[in-house]
Structure 1
């Protein structure tokens, strides 16, 4: 009996190791102008079920959170439910302030920017306008392990944070100088020392460095984005 159990365990392990992982992406789109103006386009993973589910759950939860601003801070549930709730909130606003001409908008656009055996990188660009002086734009990168669907942290991506930070700081100063003059780097971070961006992205050209408004400098600076070729950063990264 013990011998049979051991054989089953070994066969299971061999099957698991040889199991082919396949992940592809299809474009999902939700558009409505029933109440608010809403357009959501994002990549949905298909293939090996457990891996695709992990990727899709991370993307879905982020999109739900982006278009939710009510007090319950909903971060889970379907995107369709979140869209319905956004429309409901706008309708409630219009009922309370019928003379307000403000049109609420939610535009989200996601795409796969890079794929390799070591990493899948997805960028999601979000724009929300629910009143005020201007809408808010945010870009977030998601980097996944293709073999597990695990969302990778910056610490898991970077092998040498100190050297990568110095390289990015140098490139950032050059980028800012080319657009806005000789602004000291400490002013970019509101008097604080240099900081890595909230998320890093990948493209075929290299490592994408992107700072969102208010993450760095003033809103007027907009998004600050540039790419460092892989040959300059590979030695500081765990994956590429």
Structure 2
């Protein structure tokens, strides 16, 4: 799995919102992702916690978001943050910290409604009614030069036997601030060939001679076909990492599944000239 850069600890900066919230931004713990370029990333945090019945651990919710946003007022930094708000929160034209807090407030309202409707005070398992959502951003340490291979790991629990984990990926050009999307990087019409190259990578990695053998040995491919789209690939220094969340191509027990494919192996299927020049 890729090495990550995390910006912690955080210095507190209070802000008011729904429930008991803290909004944090680092001061000294900023990071120059690429020393040749000016974009610097700093972490911003939103935390909401509420016990719906005073003095009881349940029902309750705890929502924590920690993202990495670009610092500065230059065009590249502004565009970088707009891309984050668009990709992770579906928001246009607002700062990423505002998008984050709006999303957290909406989730808190949804959690409150669910907990009020379904809470059973006679249930012996209070944990079932302690809802949680955590989003943690990171940048791969071995990102392609001039690119932030950016991902957000989200874990949520809303009752049941286990929580759910989802990783969402985004690649950002550190010179322009623009996202490098699927349509930019992968050659149109080469979808089947790209899929075959990734399948071969999984087979080699797991010592399998066919997809049938891979499914039998690892369960990869048992719930869905291997795919490539926005949100599931990271542009690293020497390879592209493809990321598949639980239930997408394999059962929950398999966890998050990844494989790396060298740029040279993907050469017929990619537009490598969209990457920053070293």
Confirm or deny a common fold (TM above 0.5).
yes
Aligned partners of 2:134 and 2:241: how far apart in 1?
A: 22
For 1:56, which of 78, 81, 91 is the aligned residue?
A: 81
Alignment of 1:58-207 (within 5 A): 58-64=83-89, 78-96=99-117, 97=119, 99=121, 101=126, 102-113=129-140, 114-117=143-146, 119-159=147-187, 161-176=191-206, 182-184=213-215, 188-189=220-221, 194-196=226-228, 199-204=232-237, 206-207=239-240
Deviation per CA, 1:43-65: give whole Å up to 9, x if none: 10124533222221232344446
Whether contact under 8 Å (2:226, 2:249) holds in the other structure is: no
For 2:251, which of 207, 212, 218 is the aligned residue?
A: 218
Q: Would the alpha carbon gap of residues 64 and 218 (structure 1) be closer, same or farther in structure 2, given more than 3 Å must change? A: same
TM-superposed deviation, 1:238: 2.4
Gaps of 5+ in 2: 1-35, 52-60, 91-96
Residue 10 of structure 1: aligned partner: none
SS at match of 1:44: strand
Aligned length: 207
Residue 260 of structure 2: aligned partner: 227
Q: Would the alpha carbon gap of residues 59 and 205 (structure 1) be closer, same or farther in structure 2, given more than 3 Å must change? A: same
TM-superposed deviation, 1:41: 1.3
SS at match of 1:34: strand
Looking at CA atoms only, which structure, 1 or 2, has the larger radius of gyration? 1
Gaps of 5+ in 1: 1-19, 66-75
TM-superposed deviation, 1:175: 3.8
Aligned partners of 1:191 and 1:93: how far apart in 2?
A: 29
Whether contact under 8 Å (1:22, 1:47) holds in the other structure is: no
TM normalised by structure 2 equals 0.61
Aligned partners of 1:127 and 1:192: how far apart in 2?
A: 22
Residue 26 of structure 1: aligned partner: 42
Residue 31 of structure 2: aligned partner: none
TM-superposed deviation, 1:212: 1.1
